[in-house]
Structure 1
Amino acid sequence: MEDDSTDSYISRVRAIFLELGIPADLPDTRGLQLWREPERLVDVMSPGAAKPFQLGPEAAAAWTILQTAATDDGVELRLLSGFRGLDFQAQLIRRQLAQSRTLEVVLKILAPPGYSEHHSGCAVDVGTPGCPGLDEDFENTAAFAWLSEHAGRFGFTLSFPRGNRYGYIYEPWHWCYRIR
């Protein structure tokens, strides 16, 4: 039996789905996992960022070690995004819809609220100087090459490679810490 906080979270997700017109069966159809928001988040600073990003404690510690190792190898990694809550994810989708994008297109570039790895506090969007943020060209950088070779040692994996089973666009910038 699920507790009240789980029921409340699922109710919020369902309400947002209804408001945005997201089909209730989409998570099952695409094999998406429901991600709960962590009870605790910590601030993580990144070079060039005006404010800290938030991650779960284990992911933050692993990211800090990974980022230091990359720096030691002459590669600069910058956080572009960390934790995102349900409401912020819904707002991102609303903005895309307001730009006359179809829901089908939007849900290839953004996870539906409740199903974004960013909700877990373990996902990071990564950038590097000289490359536009959240751009497929990131795959052509030394930063991506370094992550591809070394991120696994720190518990991070590329979540959405080309042709991923979830139906999302290729996101070479999106990496997720898998709690060990």
Structure 2
Amino acid sequence: MAALPPRVASLHAELGIDPAMLRARRLKPHAEAKRLQPVGIGTDGRDKMLVPAAATAWLAMREAAAIDGVELLLISAFRGVEFQAMLIRNKLQRGMTIDDALKINAAPGFSEHHTGRAVDVGTPGVAALDEGFETTAAFAWLSEAAQSFGFYLSYPRGNAEGYWYEPWHWCWHRGVRNAA
């Protein structure tokens, strides 16, 4: 693994993130996207942003799902390194260990959300970021159709990265070299 930017390394030291653990899980660093565009308001009432190509793909995918009678809600999209650190700080303040927190959230500098290509998706009637999402028509639709829009489920059951199963987390991969 290449040397981390000083800001990321400093956050890791503050949070107690062991670089050896990241290497053992073969986690890859992700740089923050430079060009973002709004894709609408998320379920938290805040504007959500993606890189332009992923934004176009997300909006087309959401529209196609709606035509098929499936409502896709945008829970999360781009997240910066500092926001990622705040998510982990919150878990640590609630008494969670850093090892457990890093099974739920990626370390700062290692989240696909930094790329502006990842979305967390929900649907009405299911709590956000809940494994129950996998039993919904929205998940079934995504499982069949998301790939045609360039989106892939990042963290299936038993994923190699060691994250908990996240049926709601999808990342756009088509044309990645030109995405950021």
**Bin of the TM-score, shorter chain as denominator length:** over 0.9
Provide the identity percentage.
Answer: 52
String of CA shifts for 1:47-94, please: whole Å, max 9, x gaps. Answer: 766332011111100000000000000000010000000000001000
Contact 1:14 1:24 in 2 (8 A): no
* Map of 2:55 onto structure 1: 60
Which structure shows the higher strand fraction? 2
Q: Is 1:109 aligned to residue 131 of structure 2?
A: no
Q: Distance in 2 between matches of 1:46 and 1:21?
A: 33
- Asked whether the 8 Å contact 1:83–1:118 carries over to 2, the reply is yes
Matching residue within 120, 123, 131 for 2:115: 120
Q: Secondary structure at the match of 1:25?
A: helix
Q: Which moved more, 1:45-54 or 1:131-140?
A: 45-54
Aligned in 2, Cα 1:105/1:48: closer, same or farther, shift over 3 Å?
A: closer
Structure 2 letter corresponding to 1:151: A
Please report how far the alpha carbon of residue 11 of structure 1 lies from its aligned counterpart in structure 2 after TM superposition: 1.1
| One-letter amino acid matched to 2:18 | P
Q: Cα–Cα, structure 1 residues 47 and 19, in superposed 2: closer, same or farther, change >3 Å? A: closer
- Alpha-carbon RMSD across the aligned residues, in angstroms, is 1.6
Aligned length: 174
Unaligned runs of 5+ in 2: 176-180
Deviation beyond 4 Å, 4+ runs, structure 1 = 46-49
**TM-score under structure 2 length normalisation:** 0.92
1:55–1:25 CA distance, 2 compared to 1 (3 A)? same
Query: Contact between 2:70 and 2:138, CA under 8 Å: does it hold in 1?
Result: yes
Partners of 1:134 and 1:141 in 2: CA distance:
13
Q: Equivalences for 1:14-33 in 2 at 5 Å?
A: 14-33=9-28
Which runs of no fewer than 5 residues in structure 1 stay unpaired? 1-5
CA distance in 2, matches of 1:153, 1:175: 13
User: Which residue in 2 is equivalent to 1:141?
Assistant: 136
